[in-house]
Amino acid sequence: MSSVRTLRDYIENNLEKIGIVGSPSKLSEIKVDILEQATDKNLLGSLCVIPTTQGDKDLFIFGQITEVELRNVWVEQPTIRGIIKQKGPVSPISGEHDLYTGTLSVISVFSYDGIHLSRESLGRVPPTSSPVYIVNKEFMDEFNRLFGEDRNFTFIGKYYGTEVLIPFEFRDFSKNGIGEAIHIGVFGKTGSGKSWLARMVLLGYAKNRDMGIFVIDSQGEFSKGFAKGITRDITNKLGKEVKIVDIGNLRLVYPQKEQTLEALEKMLLSVPIDEFWKDFGIFTESKKILLIKTIIESLDDLSKSSRGHFGSYSLNELLEDKFDEVLKSVKSKVDHIYSGKTSDGKQRQEAFKRDIDRNKSRIKSKWRSIAKWFIVKENENISVSKVVENITDKGTIFIINFSEETVREKGLFWNDNIKYFILNELISHIKLTAEKEYLSDNTLNTLVILDEAHRFAPYETPTNEELARLKRTLVDAVRTTRKYGIGWMFISQTFSSIDKEILNQLRVFFIGYGLNYGSEWNKLREIMGGEEVLEIYRTFGDPLVDKGTRRPSFIVKGPIIPFIPTSKAIAIDVLHFPDEFIEANFPDLSRGA
C-alpha cells in the first residue's frame, strides 16, 4: 500500500464486491443493492468499504451492515399473493425477481496519501455506481497496522459475524491520554460474557504505565481470574503487580484513634437489635444509639494517650482482652441511657446492669466478632487507610475480594449491613484521597471497577439505611470524581436495576445479550438514540445455548474505538478469553509460559 492508487487497487483486486450503492442513501446511512452472487452470504454485521472521491481526495467509507431486506414487487401484488397462497411458488416470479438490499451504517471515513491515513468528514453521498466491498481479515490487519503506528491498540473483539478484528484504544485519563476520566458501563444477563469482557477491558487499561486500577470484586471472579496462570503472566509482561486482599483480612483502622472510633460507631449502628443489643436489654433504636455512644465514650476515656502510648490500656486491649473494663465503664454511665430520677428509671438502670452480667458471655462473644474488624495483626491484616493508599500506586492492579469465605473463616461479624458499611468506607476514602490529590494539583488517573453494581446502587430508593447511605456515596462519587482523575466501570445485569444518575454519567457502553424486552429495550433505545445497530442486537443469541462454540456479542458505544471517531455504536463478537485475546494481543505468550 505505497500510494492511494495501490490502496484502491488492493480493494478492487483483493476484496469481494457484494453490491453497489443504492437509493435512497444519506450521509449516515447508505443503501446497498446486493449482487446476486452475494445473496447467500451472511452479511449482517459485516464491515464494508466504499472507495469514492470527495473534492480532490480519494476517500474510503467504512460501515457495518445493520439490516438486510428482501423485496419482490411482483410477489407483493394482491393477485400473485392469492395464487401463491393457493398454489405455492409461482414460476418465474418467486425467487427469480427477489431483490436484496442492505443498510450500511457509516462508522468512519478515511483518506490515504500513500503514507498516512487521515480521518475525514463525509459531505457527499457516493453515487449509485459506487461498488461496495466486504472487508476481510488480511485487509483490516494491514489497515490497523497503518492506522495504529503511533497507537496502543487492544483487540477484544471482532466485527459481528466476521473474523475481522476491531481495534480498541484504552487511553488513560491523564493529559497525555484521553485528557479526562470517563465512566464505563458493562451490561448483560448472566452468562452474556460480562466477565470475559471486563477482564479484557481491565488488561487494556493496564497497558498504561501511569494508570492505577482498583477492583471491588463483589463475587470473587476477578480475584480468581488474576490470582495465577496466564492472566498473571500478562500483567507481569505489562509491568503491573496484582495485589489481592480478601475482605476477611481487611481492617477498619485509621491513623488517628478518633477515626477508628468513628468507624466503630458507624459499624455498631449497622448491627440490628436482634443480633446483639437485645442481650443488653435494649429493644428500641433510640436506646441502641445512646448505648453505642456510651460504649464509644468509654473506649475513648479508657484509652487516653500519654507519651505516644495509651494510659492504662491500648485501644487494641480494650477491644480484645480488656472489654470487661469497657462493660464496667458502660454500667457506671448508665445515666447516659436511662434517667435515674424516677423509680421506674432506677428499675430500668438496675435491669440494664443485670442483663449485662447475665448475658456477659454472649455479649463478649458477639463483641469479639465485631471488634476483630478494628484490630490489625502484623503481617496478617491490612487497614482501610493502607488499602486506599494503593490507589496512588500506578504499578498495581489492586483487587478487594468481597466473597464471604474468608470472613466466615476468621470469625468476623458479617451481614449485608456490614458489607454495605465497609464498601461505603472504602469509596468515601477513595473520594477523599482523590480530593487531596486534586488540591495538590494532581489527578489520580485511576480506574475503579465495581462488579454487581446493581446490588449497591439500585434504581429504587433502598429501605435499608446502610444501603441507602452507600448508594448516596456512590452517586456522589460518580458525579464528582471524574475531575479528580477517577473513572468508574460499573458491571450490572440490567439498566432498570441501577440508579439512573449513574446511567446518565456513563460515556462508554458495552451491552450484551438479554436486554431486548420491556423497559430494558426502551432504555436501550434511549441510550442508543435509535441507532441502526439495534437491528443487529435483536439477532444476538444466548451464549449459554451454544456454550463453547458461540462468542458472546455486545453493542459498543463510546470514545474507545479510534477507528470510529463519531458517536456511532457497533456490534462485536467478543474474543474468547484468554486464548484468542492472547493470540491477538500477546502472541509471544503461551499457556505454558
Among 139, 202, 136, 145, which residue's Cα sits nearest to residue 578? 202
Q: Hey, what's the cell of 450?
A: 465495581
Tell me whether the omega of the peptide bond preceding residue 24 falls within 30 degrees of 0, making it cis. yes
Name every residue whose Cβ is closer than 8 Å to that of residue 202 and which is 6 or more positions away in sequence.
Answer: 213, 215, 222, 397, 447, 449
pLDDT (mean) for 222-232: 87
- Domain end residue (candidates: 530, 546, 562): 546
Q: pLDDT tens-digit profile of 121-143?
A: 889 999 998 999 999 988 888 88
Q: What is the mean pLDDT of residues 152-156?
A: 93
Q: 327: pLDDT confidence band, cut at 50, 70 and 90?
A: very high
The predicted model scores a pTM of 0.87
Give the chain's mean pLDDT. Answer: 88
pLDDT at 88 over 80: no
Indicate whether 551 belongs to any domain.
no
Residue 35 lies in a domain: yes
Please indicate, yes or no, whether residues 522 and 408 belong to a single structural domain of this protein.
yes
For residue 306, is pLDDT > 50?
no
Q: Is residue 174 part of a domain?
A: no
Output the pLDDT for position 308.
Answer: 35
pLDDT greater at residue 291 or residue 75: 291
Q: Decide if 454 is inside a domain.
A: yes
Position 450 confidence tier, pLDDT thresholds 50, 70, 90: very high
Residues 261 and 240 in one domain: no
Residue 531 has pLDDT above 90, yes or no: no
Is 193 in the same domain as 295? Answer: no
Residue 516 confidence (pLDDT): 86
Last residue of a domain, one of 331, 354, 374: 374
Residue 593: pLDDT band with limits 50, 70, 90: very low
> Mean pLDDT across the stretch 64-71?
89
- Do residues 388 and 505 both lie within one domain? yes
Quickly state the pLDDT bin for 95 (edges 50, 70, 90): low
User: Is 203 in the same domain as 349?
Assistant: no
Which residue shows C-alpha cell 503461551?
A: 590
What percentage of residues in the chain have a pLDDT greater than 70? Answer: 92
In terms of domains, do 8 and 115 share one? yes
pLDDT value at 349 more than 80: yes
pLDDT-derived band at 496 (thresholds 50, 70, 90) equals confident
Asked if residue 359 has pLDDT above 60, the reply is yes
**Nearest-angstrom CA–CA distance, 389 and 429:** 9
Q: What is the mean pLDDT of residues 205-225?
A: 92
Q: Is the pLDDT of residue 544 over 80?
A: no
Q: Are residues 223 and 238 in the same domain?
A: yes
Spatial separation of the C-alpha atoms in residues 439 and 447, rounded to whole Å: 19
Long-range pairs of 453-457 with CB within 8 A, sequence gap ≥ 24: 453/490, 453/491, 453/492, 453/498, 453/502, 454/492, 454/493, 454/494, 454/497, 454/498, 455/218, 456/218, 456/420, 456/423, 457/490, 457/498, 457/499, 457/502
Q: Is the pLDDT of residue 109 over 90?
A: yes
Q: What is the pLDDT at residue 309?
A: 39
C-alpha cell at 590: 503461551
Peptide bond into 131 cis (omega under 30): no
Kindly tell me if the per-residue pLDDT of 429 is higher than 70: yes
**Bridge pairing between strands 131-134 and 57-71:** unpaired
- Is it the case that residue 489 has pLDDT exceeding 90? yes
In a shared domain, residues 522 and 450? yes
Label residue 74 by pLDDT band (50, 70, 90). low
Within-domain flag for 56: yes
DSSP string over 360-389: HHHHHHHHHHHHGGG-PPTTT-EEHHHHHH
Residues 223 and 117 in one domain: no
For residue 484, pLDDT beyond 80: yes
Cell 449497591, residue located: 456
Residue 116 scores a pLDDT above 80: no
State how far the Cα of 528 lies from the Cα of 535, in Å rounded to an integer: 12
Do 229 and 278 belong together in one domain? no
Mean pLDDT of all residues in 349-377 = 94
Residue 560 lies in a domain: no
| Domain identity same for 360 and 295 | yes
Of 348, 374, 400, which closes a domain? 374
Q: Please tell me whether residues 124 and 188 are part of one structural domain.
A: no
pLDDT score of 217 more than 70: yes
- Per-residue model confidence (pLDDT) at position 173: 93
* pLDDT of 29 higher than 50: yes
Exposure string of 402-431, with b = 16+ CB inside 10 Å and e = fewer, is: bbeebbeebebbbeebbbbbbbbbbbbbbb
Kindly list the distances between the CA atom of residue 143 and the CA atoms of 107, 110, 149, 281, 587, in Å, as whole numbers in the listed order: 15, 11, 10, 75, 19
pLDDT above 60 for 305: no
The CATH number of the domain holding residue 208 is 3.40.50.300
In a domain, 164, yes or no: no
Above 80 in pLDDT, residue 94? Answer: no
Q: Count up the domains in the chain and report the number.
A: 3
Q: Which residues in 409-524 belong to E strands, given as ranges?
A: 446-450, 486-492, 508-511
What are the DSSP calls for 76-104, one per residue? Answer: TSHHHHHHHHHHSS-TTTTTTT-EEEEEE
Rounded CA separation 314/300 (Å) = 10
- Higher pLDDT: 347 or 307? It is 347
Q: Is residue 156 part of a domain?
A: no
Q: Which domain holds residue 341?
A: 257-374
Average the pLDDT over 560-578 and give the result: 87
372-401: average pLDDT: 86
Name residue, grid cell 500519654. Answer: 306
* 76 has a pLDDT exceeding 70: no
Specify the pLDDT at position 307: 35
The answer to which of 43-57, 67-81, 187-201, 387-401 has the lowest mean pLDDT is 67-81
